[in-house]
Amino acid sequence: MQLGTDPGVTLHVQELGSGPPLVLIHGLFGNLATWYFSAAPELAKSHQVIAYDLRGHGKSSRPLNGYDVASMARDLEAVVARVAGAGELTLVGHSYGGVVALAFALRQASHGRRVHKLAVIDAPLPPLDTGELWARFTGVAAEDRQAMLASLPGPVRDALASGGRRAKNFVEMVRFLSVESSLREDLVRAEMSDATLATLRCPVLAVYGAESACRASGQRLARVVSGARYLEMPGGHDLPQEAPLALTRELARFLVPPPHPSPRGEGAS
């Protein structure tokens, strides 16, 4: 499905399952396959799972600008309005997708729409230090495809190493976002204060890689957001690819907690 947001911008959206709406948001330089081939099938057993390509990514449009948190959150609002209906919804966001999910949840809280639950996966909270992120992809600007591929998580690197159209499209996407678009400038301007984060009232799960440089952001969430739960698991920044089974289990526990056992004798005849 393709749906429009800003003029000239369309987003590629996929759905799985049925039930309460759950939106999965990938990070920078990824696409909806981040979730579609990891957690989405399992979570679709209990939810209407909605995944989409962020603007500039995958099969969505590639505008030159609009990669700031506010614009990305408006894109998410368009997806929710078109696909998820008017009730409560749950959000899961990885990396910059987690920042977008947080911005959406904060905005909706002020407008009276309640996010039921929010899971943030290794998101680097603003203010963002883009140095490490850009160092990871410097090979693209230098047209050094092998250097860029070497920077990726193992499963993604293996899938692209054989070359072909998929690898070519990925390299072109990263080159466009890194060199032509306003992405880096938009990221530098991102802000999200502790006072703003503290207004969140929905249950929040923050899952971070034990080897990730973003752990301080997860600890900040746990410190600032009342009731937020912080969890580390083996791996680095790219947990959906590095630890898909373990991450899916944690998300399932958070989204659909096991029923409490009945008190002894309850229901006995």
Q: What is the mean pLDDT of each run of 10 residues along the chain (269 residues)?
A: 88 95 94 93 95 96 95 94 86 96 86 82 84 55 54 57 72 84 89 92 95 93 95 94 95 81 49
12 - beta bridge partners? 2
Residue position matching structure tokens 């904060």: 106
Peptide bond preceding 127: is omega within 30 degrees of 0, i.e. cis?
A: yes
Q: What is the CATH number of the domain that holds 246?
A: 3.40.50.1820
145 in a domain, yes or no?
A: no
31 in a domain, yes or no?
A: yes
Long-range contacts, 110-115 (Cβ 8 Å, 24+): 110/199, 114/88, 114/202, 115/88, 115/89, 115/90, 115/91, 115/202
117 in a domain, yes or no?
A: yes
Q: So what's the pLDDT on residue 167?
A: 72
Q: So what's the pLDDT on residue 149?
A: 58
135 in a domain, yes or no?
A: no
184 in a domain, yes or no?
A: no
Whole-number Å distance between alpha carbons of 92 and 174: 23
Give the number of domains in the chain: 1
240 in a domain, yes or no?
A: yes
Whole-number Å distance between alpha carbons of 202 and 58: 30
Predicted TM-score (pTM) of the model is 0.87
76 in a domain, yes or no?
A: yes
| C-alpha neighbours within 13 Å on the C-beta side of residue 254 | 27
Q: So what's the pLDDT on residue 168?
A: 76
Q: So what's the pLDDT on residue 268?
A: 40
Domain that holds residue 198: 2-129+190-253
136 in a domain, yes or no?
A: no
